[in-house]
Structure 1
């Protein structure tokens, strides 16, 4: 089987969405398909499958739309859990008058979880397949020894926990409430928070709190017995280690990924935390069932149907845009990936702020 990945190999070294040997076994892989926008029909017909991961790339979606009309299989890979607000209230996408994964231009969409697959098949004319992104990190935890617990809880979040100022106020309120309650209880805990404003709020309450951001997440949770986090892919490696996991909910929106415990603005926070200290076997079993539902049992290529023949319906001269139109997007993305992968952390932080103004 011959597979064309539309993004560069450099991008996938940085993003770690898929593993070639696990997800595309025995496949002949080529990268940087987006640089081949001007290629003729015969170039794309040599491939059995076209794969992309960046939904917001106009170049990728253009190539995918054309290749679908040639009968070439196309596959979009999600890079983590599906989060409702990120689908429909992402400010970056709203400015572009877009919704994440709506519509999906590909024939196949690889997602975590059966519920997610059913949902996207309902709102799109596509077929969903089961997929666990490599960046979720579950495979790292196989055969790992559990270290002695030093902390009862880890309070953490995704890198960015809010989408606008209103949500910032609401999310900070519940996070600060959790932090205060942990301080009042006779428990040990640490945090893993990247938002500087939230860290400053915490340190006004407990100045010497340990913010464990320099270790890997694998090492960070190796010595905790409970994890409190907003909806994020990090729930999976925590559940894999049989750690009690509570999702922090501060949005009135559907939740695709379940955990054994929840924290919101109305439930008894102390009761929830005490329940996590001595977790019920039944709740841990529920978490395990969620984990199993989100881990694929077959490779991606095993789940696709390659029986249909490729039938070109375009003339060579009409397939892609004029040779006088020069597409800069793949080049910019390559430079962006290179800087984020190889530059010092301080520069990467500055660079992200710069490009956020122009993307």
Structure 2
């Protein structure tokens, strides 16, 4: 089975798909006329927002070539529908779905929602999300109470920014008033400054896994780091400052104006709330339902293609072959009569 990847090899390393025998940079080669879609059984892409990719995916489907989308990172509603980069190009991530088959790291609820489009949407254990959790680095004892973190792009407009700044400031003050130690992993320098986080608390160096293992709990905006921390067995709280659906749940939630100090104390003494930790573990398991290795992912793609292209043979009976003779008579004189009910029984 011949598979064509539309983007560069580097983009697929996050999924572990970097075999030397595969063909990458397919969109460029197709545009230059160096390759033909008819030479391939499957076309795979990972950049949904690329107009070029959408064009080649649609052409592939017209040619009867199976198409697959691999989604990087955790599904997050605001990033799909509120991101100004895609909105100004009139592209909403995964809406609509152009591919035959989609693999993404998401909850069953999100998979069900996306499947309303009628396409085949499945779970995937995203290598870029989970590999860092499964690293060989030893788990060290926590030295700090909390890690406060955000996604790389935690807000998409001025309103979200103002609400997030206010909430981060409340979190910082609650931590300091309660006497908890904390580190800050907020990439946006202006956001850190407006929320009042000092440079001494900054922890941008090293991997997220290394930093969060030094802390007892995590407070973060909706991001894949929440999933990584939950997989490491850390109590996690998402900061709620948007009015959009939450794509996945954590054991704790933090709102502005809430009894934040009490929430922080419950997170640190989470042994008193084992049910919340069990719930977090169930969320992680749900997101890990898909193929766990590149080989399993490739096998799942090939199985889907084989199922799609396996013809279903139908051998008509003699009665079926003579349908054109008796069907008009049945419809006109027998259907709906007592004789019809007798023949059915």
TM-score bin, normalised by smaller chain: 0.7 to 0.9
Tell me if 1:195 matches 2:188: yes
TM alignment of 1:1-359, pairs within 5 A: 1-13=1-13, 16=14, 18-20=15-17, 28-38=21-31, 43-112=36-105, 113-122=107-116, 124-138=117-131, 140-141=133-134, 144-203=137-196, 207=198, 209-279=200-270, 280-298=273-291, 299-304=296-301, 305-307=304-306, 308-309=308-309
Distance in 1, matches of 2:161 and 2:78, equals 13
1:300 deviates by 2.5
1:80 deviates by 1.2
**Deviation string for 1:110-146 (max 9, x for gaps)?**
1123222111111x23111211222213454355432
Identify if the C-alpha distance between structure 1 residues 104 and 41 changes in structure 2 by more than 3 Å, giving closer, same or farther. Answer: farther
Runs (5+) with no aligned partner, structure 2: 312-345
Runs (5+) with no aligned partner, structure 1: 312-359
1:258 deviates by 1.0
Give the number of aligned pairs: 301
**Deviation string for 1:290-335 (max 9, x for gaps)?**
0010013432334342233499xxxxxxxxxxxxxxxxxxxxxxxx
Q: After TM superposition, what 4+ stretches of structure 1 lie above 6 angstroms from structure 2? A: 39-42
**Deviation string for 1:272-301 (max 9, x for gaps)?**
111100112111111000001001343233
Q: Per chain length, whose mean CA-contact separation is higher, i.e. which structure has more relative contact order (CA < 8 Å, sep 6+)?
A: 1
TM-score, reference length from structure 2: 0.81
Q: Does the 8 A contact of 2:166 with 2:195 survive in 1?
A: no
* 1:80 partner SS: strand
Distance in 2, matches of 1:185 and 1:302, equals 52
Distance in 2, matches of 1:207 and 1:11, equals 35
**Deviation string for 1:78-117 (max 9, x for gaps)?**
1111211122222222212222211111111111232221
1:41 deviates by 11
Larger radius of gyration between Structure 1 and Structure 2: 2
